[in-house]
């Protein structure tokens, strides 16, 4: 009798940590972060458009992007902080603390930009508005990278499949 040359495929799925702040097992933090990411990433673009075109529309749009980016970022931060402080294993990851601190710094930069723009949105663009929006874009990139590492590398704050999968319930993901 011949031995099979095929080796059993090991289960390479990582352990996941379901989000505690979720609706029907869908984590809210990843849903909410898309708004501040979009707004704060477009902010330097609208600042540059104002400097290039001189159209007041772009300066006003920068103010609104900064306002919506900060407001939605604060909401996403509250939800993310709840996940961090409600799940013990999350607090053990250096990436979680790095993501948390970089998110706080990003919100501080966005708040400074909004404070600067409130008095006169057009005069605030050059040079400090553009500097703060560019720094904000860099911080969005760093914070997003760290958040992505938590999700994709460590499986933190994801859809709550683990318990259902072990039970083999109807809500378990399809076999690959």
Structural domain includes residue 93 = yes
Rounded distance, CA 109 to CA 36, Å? 13
Structural domain includes residue 86 = yes
Structure tokens at 133: 């929006």
Prediction pTM value: 0.80
* DSSP bridge partners of 154: none
**Contact criterion met (CB below 8 Å) for 66 and 58:** no
Structural domain includes residue 32 = yes
The total of structural domains in the chain comes to 1
* DSSP bridge partners of 22: 27
Structural domain includes residue 11 = no
Rounded distance, CA 154 to CA 171, Å? 22
Structural domain includes residue 164 = no
Structure tokens at 63: 């103010």
pLDDT tens track, the chain, 176 positions: 566 566 665 544 456 788 888 888 888 998 999 999 999 999 999 999 999 999 999 999 999 999 999 999 999 999 999 989 998 888 888 989 999 999 999 999 999 999 999 999 999 999 999 999 999 999 999 999 999 988 888 888 776 554 444 444 444 444 44
Q: Going by DSSP bridges, is the β-strand pair 26-27/156-158 parallel, antiparallel, or unpaired?
A: unpaired
User: Which domain does 97 fall in, by range?
Assistant: 25-155
Structural domain includes residue 171 = no
Rounded distance, CA 72 to CA 51, Å? 26
The residue among 81, 84, 82, 128 whose CA lies nearest residue 109 is: 128
Rounded distance, CA 61 to CA 78, Å? 26
Structural domain includes residue 145 = yes
The residue among 117, 108, 107 whose CA lies nearest residue 73 is: 107
Structural domain includes residue 168 = no
């Amino acid at each position: 009798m011949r031995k099979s040359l095929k080796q059993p495929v090991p289960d390479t799925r990582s352990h996941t940590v379901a989000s505690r702040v979720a609706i029907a097992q869908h984590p809210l933090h990843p849903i909410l972060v898309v708004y501040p990411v979009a707004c704060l990433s477009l902010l330097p673009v609208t600042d540059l458009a104002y400097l290039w075109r001189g159209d007041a529309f772009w300066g006003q749009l920068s103010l609104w992007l900064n306002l919506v980016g900060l407001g939605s970022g604060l909401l996403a931060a509250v939800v993310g902080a709840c996940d961090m402080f409600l799940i013990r294993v999350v607090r053990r990851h250096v990436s979680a603390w790095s993501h948390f601190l970089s998110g706080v710094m990003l919100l501080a930069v966005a708040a400074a930009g909004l404070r600067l723009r409130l008095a006169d949105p057009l005069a605030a663009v050059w040079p400090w508005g553009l500097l703060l929006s560019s720094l904000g874009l860099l911080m969005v990139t760093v914070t997003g990278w760290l958040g992505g590492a938590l999700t994709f590398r460590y499986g933190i704050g994801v859809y709550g499949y683990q318990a259902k999968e072990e039970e083999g319930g109807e809500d378990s993901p399809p076999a690959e």
